[in-house]
Structure 1
Amino acid sequence: MLRCWTAALQLTELFVSSLVHMLYGFYIFSSAVAGDLSQGLSDWFFKPNADFAVKREQTACSASRTSVEDLPPIVLVHGIFGFGKGRLGGLSYFAGAENKYERVLVPDLGSLTSIYDRARELFYYLKGGQVDYGEEHSKACGHSQFGRTYEQGNYPEWDEDHPIHFVGHSAGAQVVRVLQQMLADKAFKGYENTSENWVLSITSLSGAFNGTTRTYLDGMHPEDWKSLKPISLLQICRLGVIVYDWLDLAWLKEYYNFGFDHFNMSWKKKGISGLVDCLLGNVGPFASGDWILPDLTIQGSVELNSHLHTFPNTYYFSYATKRTRKIMGVTVPSSILGVHPLLLIRVLQMSQWRHPSDVAPPFKGYRDEDWQDNDGAINTISMTHPRFPVEHPSHFIQDDSQCQSLQPGIWYYKVVEGDHILFIINRERAGVEFDLMYDSIFERCRKHVFKRNPQMLPNEAQH
C-alpha cells in the first residue's frame, strides 16, 4: 500500500511539473520559451561567478554616484505567462536586465489574471498592504475582494513627489497604463491623494496596446471575444490551469503561480464538485471572463483604451517588434534564422489571418492588411502606441539619437527587427542588441525623463 501511495505521489508530481512547463510555453511563446528556459537555467546555475562580477562592478560604480535612494525606481512588469523575481528557481524573465542598473524592481503578478487585477496587484506590491480588487469588481467576477498581503511595500514612499519609471513587456505595458488611469481616478480605497503624476515614464517592449489577432488563432471567438472555441489551444490551456490550481500544491505554486488564488479553486475549498463546475465553465475566471486573454483581443483592447488617457506630464516610449516583410505584395516572415523556430509558424499564421467576413469588424476602419506585420505574438500596429478607438499623440523615431529632447504626453516609438521574446528570458539570443536596448532605456529613464524634478538627478546625469 505504501509503495502504491509513493508511486501515485511521484506520478502526480511528474504530471504537475510537466504541466506547468508545458503551459508556460504553450500559449504566448508557442513552446518557444522551453529552449530559452533551458539555456537561461543553465546560465543561472553554471555562470554564478560572472553574475557576481557584474554585481560587484555595479556596486563599485554606484559608489561614485549620488545616493541610490535619490533615484526613482525602475519597475519591470512582465507579460502573459510571465513571472517576477524569485519564481522558476530564480530565473530572470528579463534575462538579467534588472542587474544592469541600480534600484530596479521586478514584481511577480498574476501570469494569466486580467489586466485590471494585475494593475491592482502592482499598486499594492509597491505601496504595501493587502491587495484589494474592489468590492464591485470582485462581486461581478465571482472572486474574493482581497488577495495577497505585502507586509512591507517595495516602494511605500511612492507618491507625486516620489514618482516611478515603468517598463512593461507585452501585456505588462497595458497593465501599467491601466494602473496610471486608476491613480488618476483615485481608485484605491484609503489613498485619496493618488494622481497620474505618480508615474514619471512608461516604456513599452512589444506592448499589447491594441490587442492581437493571435488570440483568435489560439481560440478566442471573434464574435463575442470573451468565449473560447470548443476545440482550441486555449481550451487545453484552460483545462490545465484549472487542474493545476485545484491540486494546490504549495511547493509548486511557490515555484510558479498563474495568479488565480483569489478565485479559490483549490480542492480544499471546492472539492470534486467544484472542480467539475470549473471544468464545465460554470464558475471561475474563464467563466466570468476575468482573465487576460479577453483583454488581449482587439475588441477587449478597444474597450480598455476607451477609458485610458495619455497624460501630459508623463514620458512615453515604445519598442515595436516585427519579423515580417512584403515579397511581391505578400507578407511573410522576414527571416528564418532570426525567428525562434517555434514562433516561426505563428509569424506566418498571423501574417495571413483574415477577420471573418460574417462578423462585425472590431472597430470602425479595421483593415486586415494593417494587421499583417507581427512578431509571432502581437501585431506590430498594436505595439507602437494606443490607436483604437482614438489615436493618441505619437512620433516615430528612427534611432535613439533622436531621443535627446523628448516631450511628455507623446508616444515616441521605434520599430525593432525581432520576435516577441527577443529581449526576455535568454540574453544570448539578442546578443549586443540586448545591452544596447536596455542601456538606452535605463539611461533615458535616468537622464532624459528626469526633467520634472531636476534637483533629484544623480551627479553624472547633470552633465
Structure 2
Amino acid sequence: MIRWWISALQLTELFVSSLVHLVYGLYVFSTAVAADWFLKPNLVKMVDSKRSNSVDDLPPIVLVHGIFGFGKGRLGSLSYFAGAEKKDDNVLVPDLGSLTSIYDRARDLFYYLKGGQVDYGEEHSKACGHSQFGRTYRKGNYPEWDENHPIHFVGHSAGAQVVRVLQQMLADKAFKGYENTSENWVLSITSLSGAFNGTTRTYLDGMQPEDGMSLTPISLLQLCRLGVTIYDWFDIPWLKAYYNFGFDHFNMSRKKVGIRGLVNGLLRNNGPFATGDWILPDLTITGSIRLNSRIRTFPNTHYFSYATKRTRKIMGITVPSGIWGIHSLLFIRVLQMSQWQHPPDVTPPYKGYRDEDWWDNDGALNTISMTHPRFPVEHPSRYVVQDSQCQPLQPGIWYYKIVEGDHILFIINRERAGVQFDLMYDSIFERCRKHAFRKTPILPNQVDQ
C-alpha cells in the first residue's frame, strides 16, 4: 500500500518540487539582486581573495559546498554555510561548479588555493569534450599551501568527496608544474552528510541504475538538464555573476556555438550531459564505487564525519521520523528513499548488496553512505556518540557520528537548526584548532642530552 501511494505521488511531486524550487530560487535571487545591485554590484565579479599576504599562524579551514551549492560572492550576501564561516578568523569558502563533476571540482579547488589557471588535464579534457583550461586565479587564496602549511577541509554532501579526490590527486602528483605535492598537504577532512558511497536518490530523480550514466526520458533530472543547457547557452553575464553551474569550460554559450550548439546540447549530442562529466553520475552507487576504487585513506590525515538521518522503524517498516523536523522539499524524498528497491533485473552495484541497508536516509543521501568510505573496500572507522570518545584524535581513521537531521539542516538556514547548528560548528572548529594537528618530528640533535 505504501509503495502504491509513493508511485501515485511521484508525478505530483515532480511538478510541485520543480515549482517550489523555481519560486524559492526566484525569491532568493531577487533578494540577492536587490541587496547587491545597488549597494555593491562589482564585488561578486571578483575572483581573487582579499586575504592579506602574510602567512597566518593557524592553517585555514576551507568550507566546500555540495551539489547546487555556491561559495562566497554568489547569490549576494547569502551564505551556503549559514554564516558558520564567521566563527573562525581564517576560513575560506570557494565557489566551485555546482553541477560539475567531482574531478573537475577538485581541479578547480586546487587552483583556487594555489593560484594560476585551472588545468583539467589534456587526457581528461579530450575524453570529456571540454577545454583543457578554465578560469584564472591571479593570486591564490592560500599560495603558501604545501606540506609545511597544510589545510583543514570541511565538505558538505558532494563537497566531502571532492576533497578526498583532491587529496588523492595531491598524493599522485597530478598537477603539472607541482611535482612536490603529497597527501600531507591535507591536515584534516570533516564531512557533513558526505556523499562517500553514492545515493539511491539519483535513481529516483532519473539516473538509470543499469549504467549510472544515462537518464530516464521523463524525470526531474531531464528537466534539470534542459534548464541548465538553456541557462548556459544564453550566457547572460550579470545573471551568471550571481549563480553559475560551472560549465564555462564546455563552451556552451550562444556566442560560441549558435543555434546549432543549443540544439545539439538539448539533444545530448555534446556537452557535459553527453559525456557524463557532471556531478550526478558520480553520485550513483556505481559511480561512487568507481571513484572510491582509486581513493585511499591516508595515515597522517585526521578524518571525521557527521552522518544525518531522518528515518525510524515502526513495526519493521522504515518511515520518516517526523513531519515538522524534515524540510518540506525533502519529506517525500525521505519517504521514497526509505522504500527504495533495486530493480530485480539489474545487477546489484556490489556483492552483498541489500535494499534495507540503504533505507535510512536524510532526504538526499542514504545514511550508510555518509559514515565513511565503504565500497568497494571498507576504510578504517570508529563510531562515536560524544566527541570526547575520539580524543586524542588518531589519524587514518574515519570517526563518525549519526545526527538526527535532514540533508540541509546545517546549511542555508541557521535558525532552522537552532542551538544544534552552533554546537556542531563550534566542535568542528575546536577539533581543527586543538585536536587535529601534525606533530613536528624531533631530530636527534634536538633531543636534550
TM tier, smaller: 0.7 to 0.9
Decide which of 201, 206, 225 is 1:219's aligned counterpart. 206
Change in Cα spacing, 1:37 to 1:361, as seen in structure 2 (3 Å) is farther
2:135 corresponding residue in structure 1: 148
Query: Structure 2 counterpart of 1:77, which letter?
Result: V
Change over 3 Å in CA distance of 1:252–1:41 after alignment to 2: closer
Between Structure 1 and Structure 2, the one with more helix by share is 1
Displacement of 1:400 in angstroms is 1.7
Structure 2: gaps (5+ residues): 1-13, 36-53, 443-449
- Residue 433 of structure 1 is aligned with which of 398, 416, 420? 420
Partner of 1:34: 24
Match for residue 398 of structure 2?
A: 411
State the 1:80 CA deviation: 0.2
Whole-Å Cα distance in 2 between the matches of residues 151 and 321 of structure 1? 38
CA-CA distance at 1:90 after TM superposition: 2.0
Q: Identify if the C-alpha distance between structure 1 residues 132 and 30 changes in structure 2 by more than 3 Å, giving closer, same or farther.
A: farther
Partner of 1:239: 226
Deviations 1:19-66, CA, capped at 9 Å, x for gaps: xxxx9x968x98399399759969x96xxxxxxxxxxxxxxxxxxxxx
* Residue 401 of structure 1: how far off its partner (Å): 2.3
- Per the alignment, in what secondary structure is the counterpart of residue 69 of structure 1? coil
**Distance change >3 Å, CA 33–CA 165, structure 1 → 2:** farther
- TM-score by structure 1 length? 0.85
| Structure 2 residue identity aligned to 1:363 | Y
Q: Contact 1:68/1:103 (CA < 8 Å) preserved in 2?
A: no
Against the structure 1 CA distance between its residues 414 and 36, is the aligned structure 2 distance closer, same or farther, given a 3 Å change threshold? farther
Deviates more, 1:175-184 or 1:83-92: 83-92
Q: Which moved more, 1:290-299 or 1:335-344?
A: 335-344
Once residues 205 and 270 of structure 1 are traced to their aligned partners in structure 2, the CA distance between those partners, rounded to angstroms, is: 39
User: What CA RMSD, in Å, does the superposition of the two structures yield over aligned residues?
Assistant: 2.4
Aligned positions of 1:98-137 closer than 5 A: 98-137=85-124
Contact residue 68 and residue 102 of structure 1 kept, 8 A: no
Separation of aligned partners in 2, 1:187 and 1:147: 16
The separation in 2 between residues aligned to 1:94 and 1:422, in whole angstroms, is: 10
C-alpha spacing 1:242/1:196, structure 2 compared with 1 (3 Å)? same
Give the letter aligned to residue 449 of structure 1. Answer: A
Q: Which runs of 5+ in 1 are unaligned?
A: 1-22, 46-66, 456-463
- Compared CA separation, residues 89 and 325, structure 1 to 2 (3 A): same
1:90 is paired with a residue of what secondary structure? coil
User: Of 306, 316, 322, which residue of structure 2 is paired with 1:319?
Assistant: 306
Q: Secondary structure at the match of 2:330?
A: helix
Instruction: Name the amino acid aligned to 1:189.
Output: K
Identity among equivalent positions (%) equals 81
- Counterpart in 2 of 1:447? 434
Alignment size in residue pairs: 410
Deviations 1:212-257 (A, max 9, x none): 0000000000001101011100000000000000000000000000
Is 1:266 aligned to residue 253 of structure 2?
yes
CA–CA distance in structure 2, aligned partners of residues 108 and 430 of structure 1: 24
- After TM superposition, give the deviation of residue 399 of structure 1 in Å: 1.5
Q: Provide closer, same or farther for how the CA distance between residues 454 and 100 of structure 1 changes in structure 2, counting only shifts above 3 A.
A: farther
Structure 1: how far apart are the matches of 2:111 and 2:271?
23
Q: How far is 1:452 from its partner?
A: 2.6
Amino acid paired to 1:382: S
Is 1:378–2:368 an aligned residue pair? no
1:338 maps to 325
Going from structure 1 to structure 2, the CA distance change for 1:182 and 1:125 (only over 3 Å counts) comes to same
CA deviation profile, 1:128-186 (whole Å, cap 9, x unmatched): 00000000000000000000000000000000000000000000000000000000000
1:206 maps to what in 2?
193
